[in-house]
Amino acid sequence: MVQYITPRLDASFAALSDATRRGVLEQLGRADASITDLAVKFNMTLTGMKKHVGVLEQAGLVTTEKVGRVRTCKLGLRRLEEEAAWIERYRQLWDARFDELDKVVEELKRKERVDGRKKR
């Protein structure tokens, strides 16, 4: 099977596939936070949160900066335009398919009404 998706999209969707990582992005959208703060907020170990932040960082969705012993996380520069465009293409494809299905259903209903009238 041919793969058309770019490695960048793969990394983004892999990062976004986890509820905790989506929650981290939502949290960082409100304010920057340390890994410790995030770990407490999501009730997990520092090691676990570091792994989640690492996945987000590899995808370019989060950046971190270490000052002393504190590693602060903030939203990355990526704005998910490429991902949104990919989703939009498929949304349009599905909309078109459902529109065609609606037409078929309406035609079947129309024929059923016409056929029902002829039988009486």
Q: Over the stretch 63-79, which tens digit does the pLDDT of each residue have?
A: 999 999 999 999 998 88
Given a contact cutoff of 8 angstroms between Cβ atoms, the answer to whether 53 and 73 are in contact is yes
Write the single-letter amino acid at 36: T
Task: Return the pLDDT at 49.
Answer: 97
- Percentage of the chain with pLDDT > 90? 70
Given a contact cutoff of 8 angstroms between Cβ atoms, the answer to whether 14 and 58 are in contact is no
Mean pLDDT, rounded, for 78-93:
89
Q: Is the pLDDT of residue 28 over 80?
A: yes
Of 46, 42, 43, the residue nearest 21 (C-alpha):
42
Which architecture does CATH list for 7-75?
Orthogonal Bundle (1.10)
Mean pLDDT, rounded, for 111-117:
78
Q: Is the pLDDT of residue 26 over 60?
A: yes
Considering Cα of 17, then 77, then 54, then 40, what sign does the dihedral take? negative
